[in-house]
Structure 1
Amino acid sequence: MFELILTCPEDHVELLSDALEALDALSVAVEDADAGTPEERALFGEPGLPPPSEAWQRSRIASLFAERQQAEHAAAVLRAQDFFAACEIVGVRAIADQDWVRLTQSQFEPVSITDRFWIVPTWHEVPPQAQRAIRLDPGLAFGTGTHPTTRMCLRWIAAHEGELGRVIDYGCGSGILAIAAAMHGATRVEAVDIDPAAIEATRFNAESNRVELIAGAPEAASGPYETVVANILATPLKVLAPLLSRLVAPGGNLVLAGILQRQADELKDAYAPYLSLHVADEEDGWILMTARA
C-alpha cells in the first residue's frame, strides 16, 4: 500500500477528495494539517446537526493506493489542474501491510463499570469476576462503554438495580444503556433514536445479549417512565427539556449525560420550570445530572 499526502485549503477538500476517488484511491482521509500545534482547531457538531465547517482551514488529505505508480500518477494529474495552485503535494510513502481488523480490535479492551458489571467486546473473553457483561461490537453506533458519559450512566443504572421500573433510553445509540437497564431489573425497556442505524444496532445488540426491549423512532415514546435516560449533548438536552421532563412518571428519575462541568448551570436553568437537576457524578470533565419528579 502507498499513501499520497496533500495539503489544501478548506474550500478545496471536497473537490480534491472527489478527484482522488476518481483516480482510484482506495480511501481518502481528511485531518487538521495543524494538529499538535497552537493553530490546531477542533470541529464539533451536535447530534443531528452538521459541524460548523466540513474541514479545516489547512487540511491534510491522505489517500491510499494499491501501487506506488498509481499514487504518483494521481499526484501528477492533480498538479496539472488549475484548482491545485493553492494545494501542495507532501509526498508518497509506503504503508506496511497490517491486519486492520486486529489492529482496530486491539484498541478496545473490556471495561469495568463495577466490580461485577463489565462491557466486553465480542472478541474478548468475559473476565471471571464479571457476574453481568454486555457483549458489544464497538463502532456500530455511539456508546461502547469507554466514554465517561456512558460509564456514568451505566454506574447509575447498576446502582439502582431493582428500582428502574419502566425505562426509556432517549437517543439510544448502540443501545448499551437500554440493555444495561434490562439486565438490572427494568420491568420494560424502550429505546429511541433519530438515526435508523442506531435503532438497528440497538436491536442487534439486544438480541446478541439476549435481552428484550423495544427500539424505534422518538415518536414512539409514550411514557410515563420511572426512569428516563438521555446521554446526548448539552444543546439537544436543553431543547428537549419540556419533552424529557414530561416523560418522567411521578416519583421517577431523569438521568442526563453528555454534559461538561461548565454547562451544569445551563442545564439547571433549562429544566428549572419542570424539575430540579443536580450533579450526581463526574468524570474527566463530564458530569451526570439527575432529577426526581
Structure 2
Amino acid sequence: MFELRLLVPEDSVEIVSDALDALDALSVSVEDADAQTDAEQALFGEPGMPPPKEGWQRSRVIALFSTEALAREAASVLSAQDFFEGCSVIGVVDVPEQDWVRLTQSQFAPVEITPEFWIVPTWHEPPAQARQVIRLDPGLAFGTGTHPTTRMCLRWTASRGDLAGQRVLDYGCGSGILAIGAAKFGARDIDAVDIDEAAVESTRLNADANGVRLNAGLPDAASGRYDVVLANILATPLKVLAPLLCGYVAQGGSLVLAGILERQADELKQAYAPYASLEVSDSEDGWILMTARL
C-alpha cells in the first residue's frame, strides 16, 4: 500500500477529495496540517450531522493506493488540473503491511458501564468483576458503548436494577444496545425501532448474539404504552418527537433522552414542557442525560 500526501487549502478539499475517489483511491482522509502547533484549529460538530467545514485552512489530504505507480499517476494527473492551483504534493509514502483486523480490534477494549456491567467485544474475555455483559462488536449502526450518550443510558438502566415485567421502547435503536441492556436487566416486552433498515437488522443480529428476545422494526412497530421509553438520538429530532415519545410513556413510566449537549438543556425542557418535566440526570464530557416521570 502507498499513501499519496497532499497539502490542500480549505476551499479545495472537496474537489481534490472527489478527484482522488475518481482516480480509484482506496480511501481518502483529511487532517489539519497544523495539528500539534499553535495554528491548530478545532472543528466542532454533532455526531450524525454534516461537518461544519470540509477541511482546515491548511489541510493534509491522504489518499491510499494499492501500488506506488497508481499513487504517482494520481499525483501527476492532479498536478495538471486547474483546480489544483494552490495545492502541493508532499510525497508518496510506503505503508508497511499490517494485520489490519488485529489493529482495528485492538482499538476496541471492553467498556465499563458500572463496575459490574460491561460492554465486551467478542474477541475479549469479560473482566473478572463483570456480572452483566453485553457482547457487541463495532458495526454499521451507532451504539457500541464507547460514546458518553450510550454509556449514560446504560448506567440509567443499571441504576434501575430489576426491570422484570416492564415494557420498554428503544426509539432510534441503532445497534440495539439500549434494548439489549434493558433485556439483560429483566425487561420482558421490548420494542426496538429505527428509520434505518440496516440498524434494524443490526439490532436483530446483536440481540441473537446476546441471547435476548426483542422485537426490532421500523418506527411503526412501536405501539401502545411503555414503562420505559429510551431515545438516544440528537437534540433537534428529540424536540420534534416530543409529543410522539411522551405519548408512548405509560402513566408513572420513565422517559430517558440522550444525544443532548449541556448547552441544549433549556431547549429540550421547553420543547417537552407541555408533556413532561425534564431534568438532567447525568452528564459526561459535555453531554447530558435528561429524564422525566410521567
Change (3 A) 1:93 1:137: same
Cα distance, 1:198 vs structure 2: 1.2
Cα distance, 1:190 vs structure 2: 0.7
- In structure 2, the residue matched to 1:88 is 88
- In structure 1, the residue matched to 2:260 is 259
| 2-structure distance, mates of 1:7, 1:35 | 13
Does the Cα contact within 8 Å between 1:110 and 1:120 map onto a contact in 2? Answer: yes
Q: Secondary structure at the match of 1:211?
A: coil
Does the Cα contact within 8 Å between 1:32 and 1:40 map onto a contact in 2? Answer: yes
CA RMSD of aligned residues (A): 2.1
Amino acid at match of 1:230: A
Identity of aligned residues (%): 67
- In structure 2, the residue matched to 1:137 is 137
Residues 12-47 of structure 1 show CA distances to partners (whole Å, capped at 9, x for unaligned) of 444333432343322222334454555524252564
- In structure 2, the residue matched to 1:123 is 123
Does the Cα contact within 8 Å between 1:117 and 1:132 map onto a contact in 2? Answer: yes
Which stretches in structure 2 are left out of the alignment for 5+ residues? none
| 1-structure distance, mates of 2:194, 2:39 | 37
Decide which moves more: 199-208 or 109-118: 109-118
Question: Are 2:8 and 1:4 aligned?
Answer: no
- In structure 2, the residue matched to 1:240 is 241
Change (3 A) 1:243 1:58: farther
Cα distance, 1:212 vs structure 2: 0.7
Decide which moves more: 125-134 or 179-188: 125-134
Amino acid at match of 1:132: Q
Amino acid at match of 1:284: D
Decide which moves more: 279-288 or 200-209: 279-288
Amino acid at match of 2:116: R
Flag as ranges the 4+ runs of structure 1 deviating above 6 A: none
| 1-structure distance, mates of 2:177, 2:244 | 22
Does the Cα contact within 8 Å between 2:234 and 2:260 map onto a contact in 1? Answer: yes
- In structure 1, the residue matched to 2:169 is 168
Cα distance, 1:230 vs structure 2: 0.7
Does the Cα contact within 8 Å between 1:45 and 1:52 map onto a contact in 2? Answer: no
| 2-structure distance, mates of 1:214, 1:88 | 53
Does the Cα contact within 8 Å between 2:28 and 2:62 map onto a contact in 1? Answer: yes
Decide which moves more: 53-62 or 128-137: 53-62
Residues 45-87 of structure 1 show CA distances to partners (whole Å, capped at 9, x for unaligned) of 564x544555555443211123323222221121112221132
| 2-structure distance, mates of 1:226, 1:204 | 25
Decide which moves more: 238-247 or 214-223: 214-223
Decide which moves more: 108-117 or 157-166: 157-166
Question: Are 2:192 and 1:191 aligned?
Answer: yes
| 1-structure distance, mates of 2:104, 2:272 | 40
Residues 130-174 of structure 1 show CA distances to partners (whole Å, capped at 9, x for unaligned) of 222111011332111122111111111112133471101111111
Does the Cα contact within 8 Å between 1:275 and 1:291 map onto a contact in 2? Answer: yes
Question: Are 2:55 and 1:70 aligned?
Answer: no
Does the Cα contact within 8 Å between 2:277 and 2:292 map onto a contact in 1? Answer: yes
Q: Secondary structure at the match of 2:31?
A: strand
Which stretches in structure 1 are left out of the alignment for 5+ residues? none
Decide which moves more: 71-80 or 15-24: 15-24
Does the Cα contact within 8 Å between 1:192 and 1:215 map onto a contact in 2? Answer: yes
| 2-structure distance, mates of 1:115, 1:41 | 34
| 2-structure distance, mates of 1:13, 1:96 | 26
| 1-structure distance, mates of 2:44, 2:261 | 17
Change (3 A) 1:221 1:52: farther
Cα distance, 1:237 vs structure 2: 1.3
Cα distance, 1:231 vs structure 2: 1.0
Q: Secondary structure at the match of 2:115?
A: coil
Residues 225-283 of structure 1 show CA distances to partners (whole Å, capped at 9, x for unaligned) of 11000111222211211111111111000001112222222211111111001111122
Residue correspondences, number: 292
Does the Cα contact within 8 Å between 2:32 and 2:40 map onto a contact in 1? Answer: no
Amino acid at match of 1:117: F
| 2-structure distance, mates of 1:43, 1:287 | 17
| 2-structure distance, mates of 1:138, 1:242 | 32
Cα distance, 1:11 vs structure 2: 4.9
Residues 87-118 of structure 1 show CA distances to partners (whole Å, capped at 9, x for unaligned) of 22122222222111111111111112122221
| 2-structure distance, mates of 1:193, 1:247 | 15
Amino acid at match of 1:199: V
- In structure 2, the residue matched to 1:275 is 276
Q: Secondary structure at the match of 1:76?
A: helix
